Amino acid sequence: MGHLTVGLDVDWAVRWLTLSAQAMADHRVELIELDRAIGDSDHGENMDRGFKAVMDKLAEAPPATPGAALKLTAMALMSKVGGAAGPLYGTAFLRASTSLGDAPDIDPAALAAAIEAARDGVVARGKAEPGDKTMVDAWTPAVEAAAAAAAAGDGDVLKVLLAAAEAAEAGAVATDPLIARKGRASYLGERSAGHRDPGAVSTALILRAAAGAAK
């Protein structure tokens, strides 16, 4: 006790989404290149297009709560991204939004719960398990790290976000040796080993943007 609890409000959510859009634009070519190796060269293009649509929606109708911002993001991604990433990220943001409800501010416990809800949404839609070389391999370590940071109990949301981002980045790197068992890379069988999963990388970028927006 004794020190101020920093909350995450709707301004943070908008900054997060703006930084995510920037990250997708900045990493568009890198994501295309990763997808070219084990998929079909469209992930960077699709994510860039999807988050540009999110920015348009934010400008049209500014949201009142973090949950509303994430719901708007879900709808934009679902309708603009296509491929597997559209429904997967759409479901992730929608479940996170539902988890947050109408709360104007997010505390560490609510944040960890929202990240977990997002991961559970991805798993429910895509049916991938940890180790299948998908975005789940970034989400699951992020969920665990966020829960541990929230449980540490000093009330610092930034620590939770940083823990999630670092874990997601490590999770993405750890997909390198894996053999894909879901998504288009799975058709390559053993030849998918030695490449990083593009969906895990985009997940890490989005979670890093969330931390960046809280600083």
Looking at residue 137, its amino acid is D
Query: Per-residue contact track with other proteins, 152 to 181, x per CB under 8 A?
Result: ----------------------------xx
> How is 83-126 classified by DSSP, letter by letter?
TTHHHHHHHHHHHHHHHHTT-SSB-HHHHHHHHHHHHHHHHHHH
Binding of residue 81 to other proteins (CB under 8 A): yes
Residues 85-104 that bind other proteins (CB under 8 A): 85-88
Binding of residue 144 to other proteins (CB under 8 A): no
The minimum distance between CB 171 and other proteins, in angstroms, equals 20
Burial zone of 41 (CB within 10 Å; 0-12 exposed, 13-18 middle, 19+ buried): middle
Query: Per-residue contact track with other proteins, 185 to 214, x per CB under 8 A?
Result: -xxxx-x-----------------------
Q: What is the CA radius of gyration of the chain?
A: 16
| Dist. CA 55–CA 144, nearest whole Å | 30
Could you tell me the two tokens for 123? 């798993």
Residue 66 or 183 with smaller CB distance to other proteins: 183
Residues engaged in binding other proteins (CB under 8 A): 32, 36, 38-42, 45-46, 49, 78-88, 125-126, 180-184, 186-189, 191
